[in-house]
Amino acid sequence: MTVSIRPLHPVFVGEVSGVDCHDALSTQQVDAVEAGMNEFAVLVFRDQHLSDDEQIAFTCHFGELENYNTPGHVRKRENQRLGPGIADFSNLDKHGNIMSGDDRVWFFKLGDRLWHSDSSFRPIPAKYSLLSARILPSWGANTEFADMRAAYDALDERMKAEIEDLICEHSLIYSREAIGFTDLTPEETAAFRPVRQPLIRTHPSTGRRSLFLSSHAGTIAGWTIPEARMFLRDLTEHATQREFVYSHPWRPGDLLIWDNRATMHRARRFDRTEIRDVRRTTLTGEAAMASR
Ligand SMILES: [Fe+2]
């Protein structure tokens, strides 16, 4: 089958046809998807009802899985519903019941409704994330994406020069603090030690520059925290203007891939008394501090 991609948005996001994600892909298909990712940054595959093992196998065509045993994963192994290699982004507990509204895991999940780039709080942030829809609630729960390449390009030259060498510190502590969730254990506080990331990153395949923003970014090296927070908030507002944003209304069987090195995303609200079962595989990227 020939791989083809139909744009879903004026600046990024494409819908792929000609790929069955259950199958082992040919080199040509892998190359076509990678090329599509380099151009569109977010790709939508329809009607892919995958098992966890099939999603993991498909993901591994494009790189190396992120290691979920590293610190920073909130659900301890014994409390997880799914096997290794795939992350549970549902609102279900390990028994398959809807988690309570005061569950700490739910508090962490709520922070995903802030704009972010996956694993920007890790020294090696994520390359691609792949999210599959298994069970969807009756309304809401869109995932929104913002193109950080277009956002960078749209900055004026003075601003580009001002941010050229800025370094931010990212941590889950900052993004959870932003929604008033500060009740972290000493182990979590130690595991979420801030990491340094450049504010501008260069894509290793395309050479395109983008803003490396994320709600995990809480300080700028050498700045006061209030000045840094306001500056990052202003930049995030710029970067998430509607012209740079695509909102994805999920259908069962959708599989989305996004490039965390070129985009931010956020989850949207839904009725948490309904089941939302979505599952994510993640590919590890490269150290952004070295990619400039
Ligand atoms: Fe995310």
Q: What local confidence, expressed as pLDDT, does residue 86 receive? A: 95
Give the distance (Å) from ligand 1 centre to CA of residue 112: 6
Environment class of 201 (CB within 10 Å of its CB; exposed 0-12, middle 13-18, buried 19+): buried
Span 98-124, pLDDT tens digits: 999 999 999 999 999 999 999 999 999
Q: Whose structure tokens read 């370094």?
A: 167
Backbone angles phi, psi at 261, to 5 degrees: -85, -5
Query: Ligand 1 mean position to 157 CA, how many Å?
Result: 30
Give me ligand 1 centre to Cα 265, in Å. 6
Q: Is the pLDDT of residue 69 over 80?
A: no
> Which residue type sits at 79?
N
Ligand 1 centroid to residue 135 C-alpha, Å = 18
Question: pLDDT per residue over 254-284, tens digit each?
Answer: 999 999 999 999 999 999 999 999 999 999 9
Alpha-carbon distance values, 201 to 47, 146, 286 (Å): 34, 15, 11
pLDDT of residue 81: 92
Q: How far is ligand 1, taken at its centre, from the CA of residue 282, in Å? A: 10
Looking at residue 289, what is its pLDDT? 75
Amino acid identity of residue 214, one-letter, is S
Mean pLDDT for the chain overall? 95
Is the pLDDT score of 73 beyond 70? no
Please give the biggest Cα pair distance in the chain: 55
157 pLDDT more than 70: yes
Question: Ligand 1: distance of its center to the CA of 31 in Å?
Answer: 25
Span from the CA of 6 to the centroid of ligand 1 (angstroms): 24
Please say whether the beta carbons of 62 and 34 come within 8 A. yes
In single-letter form, the type of residue at position 243 comes to E
Rounded Cα–Cα distance for residues 12 and 6 (Å): 10
